[in-house]
Every structure is written in structure tokens, then in C-alpha cells.
Amino acid sequence: QSVLTQPPSASGTPGQRVTISCSGSSSNIGSNYVYWYQQLPGTAPKLLIYRNNQRPSGVPDRFSGSKSGTSASLAISGLRSEDEADYYCAAWDDSLSGPHYVFGTGTKVTVL
């Protein structure tokens, strides 16, 4: 059971802006960096955002991340058909049983 909560789905038409939220707690998002991953159908995940709002080389600037308190969000601007995928937030969690890396519940983005 994930400790990071995301909406199960989001959608938009081409060119629109879509935002995905990720809600956590003080032991994860509140005190650690947030990461975002994109998983295209039938493929392994790929890093989109690291350290809350940084893009790895090669990730389009249409993707942006932000964090405030115990929540984070991923925004996709200028939505394109190839953005149709599952998106997961992630963070380290300093639980009582030791450090854990946790993924969010995942959000399926549909391009209408």
C-alpha cells in the first residue's frame, strides 16, 4: 500500500496543460526530494523529474515539477499524443523501520 497518493487518471486534449498531484507526509515528501517517472505502455519506467523540479538531459521542458510542504505536482504543458502514459511520483521515506523508497499510486494520462 503506497504512502504517496495520486489521482488514478487525468486527461486533456492536445496542447492543453495537465497537472498531476502527489500527496505524502512529513516523513517522505516533507523532508526528501520528489522524483517523477513516466511509464509508456509495455516499457520500463523512465525518469522525468529529479530533486523536485530538475529535468534530466533529454526531457522536454514541457514537463515541470514542483513541491510544497508534503505535496508535489507534475505539470505537462502542450500535451502531445506521445505523453499518454502512466506517471508515478516517488520519494525516500524515513520510516520507523528504516529508509524506504516509495512510489505513488500512479496516474494514467489520456490524450483525448
Q: Are 70 and 54 in contact (CB under 8 A)?
A: no
Does residue 63 bind another protein (CB under 8 A)? no
Q: Are 107 and 22 in contact (CB under 8 A)?
A: no
Does residue 84 bind another protein (CB under 8 A)? no
- State which of residues 76, 88, 109, 111 lies at the interface with another protein (CB under 8 A): 88
CA–CA separation, 68 vs 52, rounded Å? 10
Minimum Å gap between C-beta 47 and another protein is 4
**Count of residues that interact with another protein, criterion CB under 8 A:** 29
Q: What length does the chain have?
A: 112
Does residue 75 bind another protein (CB under 8 A)? no
Site for another protein in 3-42 (CB under 8 A): 32-33, 35, 37, 39
Stretch touching another protein by CB under 8 A, among 16-24, 48-56, 61-69, 71-79 = 48-56
Query: Cell numbers of 41, please?
Result: 505502455
Q: Tell me which residues touch another protein (CB under 8 A).
A: 2, 32-33, 35, 37, 39, 44-47, 50-51, 54, 56-57, 86, 88, 90, 92, 97-106
